[in-house]
Structure 1
Amino acid sequence: MAQAQTKAEVIHWWTSGGESAAVKELANAYKAAGGVWVDSAIAGGEAARAAAINRIVGGTPSTAAQFNTSKQFLDIIDAGLLNNVDEVAVKDGWDKMFPAPILNAIKIKGHYYAVPVNIHMGAWFWYSKAAFTKAGIAAEPKTPDEFFAALDKLKAAGLVPLAQGGQPWQEKLLFDGWLAHAGGSELYLKFYRDRDAATAQSPAFKAILTSFKRLKGYVDAGSPGRNWNDATSLVINGKAGMQLMGDWAKGEFQNAKQTAGKEYGCFPGFGPKSPYIIAGDVFVFPKTSDPAQIKAQHLLASTFTTPATQVAFNNKKGSIPIRTDVDAKGMDACAQIGLQVMKDSSRHLPNSEMLVTPDVAGALQDIITKFWNTNQSVDDAAKAMAAAIKG
């Protein structure tokens, strides 16, 4: 009977090798806590979220569903379609456990509607040590100019300088990372947080658009349509020099039995005070009045945040734990850098989806994709972005 009460169907989009290994850690922790895990993996974030919402609206909700740490689930909260997990949050002390950008994303109108499972940074630089050696690159680039110089050396060595997947969300991710790293926190926040249309047409913003488009010259012809993990594979096998991608990419390196600092390197930005874009994944709990399902939801929320689960999951996922009181000694070199950065709140930068609605994010993604893939002028792209940011 206990098993029937804690049976949990969990919808998620973790289907790559590294991601599958990571989600098994969540499943194993839930099983160890006495639950029965029913895995519903759906490839692609948009597809998985749409499936979860369709199930909720159709009256056959899953126990939990994955979303990003963002405004993606505000509409279903407003529609009264989610259960809160206030009881667990209060008992486990989430207010003291999680950093402010995460709390602001999950605590809506005084209630906790999601359990965060990780802190991802969407704009790490990953590089092949073998490729750097072949190209004669002695040190990690510390400025945008040094970065372009490294790309030139990789190109001259006959390698793909920048491994890039060709999907709209990846192009948006690359733009956001470049805006933060090359433009700085102030420009990024003026645009995304303050939604200042004039910023999009400023010389500083146009300079970022220009250098962003310059990156296209270092991407190979096989990029269009490529999945992110296939781009990461190019770096893993030394065919490409670098990739700008979230720290979920690290799970792919680990899955390939590579070690940070040995076969590959990582750096979270240019220089010691570079902004650290905080993102991540959460699970929400679809509305149900079934006591067994509510019990399962609470057990999931509680289990996901325990120190042991956090370390085991994030070690495989490539992200860092949501809490700072874990024993991180066993975590790799990249995770140690991330945990160190998280101690400096002045470097914390909310990801763009925490700052704008999905509609605005979608409009900007369309504009960035058009700019990246066509001969559109910087002025026209800037004008379109100025109009989109106003909503």
Structure 2
Amino acid sequence: MNSSKMVLRGVVAALALYGVVAQAEPLKANVIHWWTSGGESAAIRQFADAYDKAGGQWVDNAVAGADQARSTAINRIVGGDPPTAAQFNTSKQFHDLIDQGLLNNIDQVASKENWAGILPQSILDSIRVKGHYYAAPVDIHMLAWFFYSKPVFQKAGIASEPKSYDEFIADLGKLKSAGVIPLAFGGQPWQEKITFDAVLAEVGGQDLYLKVYRDRDANAVNSDAFRKVLVSFKKLHEFVDPGSPGRNWNDATALVTSGKAGVQIMGDWAKGEFVAARQTAGKDYGCFPGFGAHSPYLVTGDVFVFPKTDNATAIKAQNLLATVMTSPSAQVAFSARKGSIPIRPDVDASSLDVCAQEGIAIMKDKSRQLPNPEMLVSPDTQGALTDVVTNFWNKNQSVDDAQKAFASALKS
């Protein structure tokens, strides 16, 4: 049975559980998202095709750039022309919309799928507010995977994956000596923040990470341990190329797929670009989560929220979208192209690549799971901290000044 038939059969079975019946007219759904790269477009198409086959009509509204897409969605919601659904990260980004009464809940879908019993706690904490579910999670990503070119590593004489931050720095030195870009880097604030958080989780450890982001502990930020994190983060700057400032993440990935660079630190969505380049995990490229063999797994992801409406047809479309997007078969088809892992454990993930299999195994170990910062701090605070990180990365700022700036931003 081909994959499209498997997805359709799975979706039909899921819809039967909800009593969804064929409509005389397809349930039109205008969906705002920011998945525009090659791998991302192939992934979102899995949801669109499954929705259409289930009796809907997907109206794609792709907006390049996450910030721009969220702004478009919010402006339309506030302006009285809401989409059927809009993408946000698994975070506190959409909680203001909940507080203002601008989102519909999808409690019916969540209840029948037993989300409370199967989803990781960090995701539940993001999508469930005051007992109601306001977003459909569609993937689990990890912010800090390391993707490397196997031929380039071989050329540089790197025989095995690094097991610590220090070993990684040593390998970057070997890549530099081999005449390639050691670290493929996208010099945009959010990418710099991802790299910083990876260093904080590894070099600082889970305890310091949580004291900083969850507890907002000023003493933790002012500690020698946090100072070491800043020094370790800036050390990576020695291994990026002059063309990195402003570079998109997928263009950085292309440096690895083309053999021009050795390794990239990026969320596992980067795998979609390797798939689009017809490269196979474990053969053409390798992957490892975090700097070390037992590094923390920084959980993140994407959700779709459903703007407030009293229109019965629109509400049916929203429930159908939530059902389709979270159905087991569509989850696997999407994950295979997006680079993520499914949000639910009750799926057949045997067809997913070796990186995904490792991620699924790690997610079973709750001791390694860390919520990403956006799950722990407000969007305003996250923005202020990102500004501090990008300023430190790009300017000749002292570690002491950066440490003071971070402590100040954490109070915002």
Which residue, out of 35, 41, 50, partners 1:29?
50
Q: Identical aligned pairs, as a percentage?
A: 65
Deviations 1:176-221 (A, max 9, x none): 1111122211111110011111111110110010010010010000
Which residue, out of 105, 125, 134, partners 2:155?
134
Contact 1:3–1:34 under 8 Å retained in 2: no
Q: Which amino acid in 2 is paired with 1:32?
A: K
Which residue, out of 101, 116, 122, partners 1:80?
101
Rounded to whole Å, the distance in 1 between the matches of 2:140 and 2:257 is 23
Contact 1:128–1:263 under 8 Å retained in 2: yes
Paired position in structure 1 for 2:11: none
1:371 positional shift: 0.3
| Structure-to-structure mapping, 1:288-303, within 5 angstroms | 288-303=309-324
Paired position in structure 2 for 1:108: 129
Look up the SS of the partner of 1:14 in the other structure: coil
| Structure-to-structure mapping, 1:222-241, within 5 angstroms | 222-241=243-262
Rounded to whole Å, the distance in 2 between the matches of 1:272 and 1:262 is 20
Deviations 1:297-356 (A, max 9, x none): 000111111110110001100000001111111100000000000110111100000000
1:3 positional shift: 5.7
Rounded to whole Å, the distance in 2 between the matches of 1:57 and 1:189 is 34
| Structure-to-structure mapping, 1:42-121, within 5 angstroms | 42-121=63-142
Residue 180 of structure 1 pairs with residue 201 of structure 2: yes
Look up the SS of the partner of 2:250 in the other structure: helix
- Where does the alignment leave 5 or more consecutive residues of structure 2 unmatched? 1-21
Contact 1:160–1:218 under 8 Å retained in 2: yes
Q: Which amino acid in 1 is paired with 2:257?
A: I
| Structure-to-structure mapping, 1:1-391, within 5 angstroms | 2=23, 4=25, 6-391=27-412
Deviations 1:3-33 (A, max 9, x none): 6461100000000000000000010111121
CA RMSD of aligned residues (A): 1.0
1:46 positional shift: 0.3
TM-score, structure 1 length as denominator? 0.99
Rounded to whole Å, the distance in 2 between the matches of 1:177 and 1:316 is 24
Rounded to whole Å, the distance in 2 between the matches of 1:180 and 1:244 is 14
- Where does the alignment leave 5 or more consecutive residues of structure 1 unmatched? none
Look up the SS of the partner of 1:283 in the other structure: strand
Contact 1:30–1:300 under 8 Å retained in 2: yes
Q: Which amino acid in 1 is paired with 2:392?
A: F
Q: Which amino acid in 2 is paired with 1:343?
A: K
Q: Which amino acid in 1 is paired with 2:315?
A: I
Query: How many residues are treated as equivalent by the alignment?
Result: 391
Contact 1:4–1:292 under 8 Å retained in 2: no
Q: 1:383 to 1:131 in 2, by over 3 A?
A: same
Contact 2:165–2:292 under 8 Å retained in 1: no
Rounded to whole Å, the distance in 2 between the matches of 1:306 and 1:273 is 31
Rounded to whole Å, the distance in 2 between the matches of 1:272 and 1:159 is 25
Deviations 1:143-193 (A, max 9, x none): 111000000000000010000001111111111111112221111111001
Contact 2:164–2:293 under 8 Å retained in 1: no
Q: Which amino acid in 1 is paired with 2:152?
A: A
1:389 positional shift: 1.1
TM-score, structure 2 length as denominator? 0.94
1:273 positional shift: 2.4
Rounded to whole Å, the distance in 1 between the matches of 2:293 and 2:237 is 27
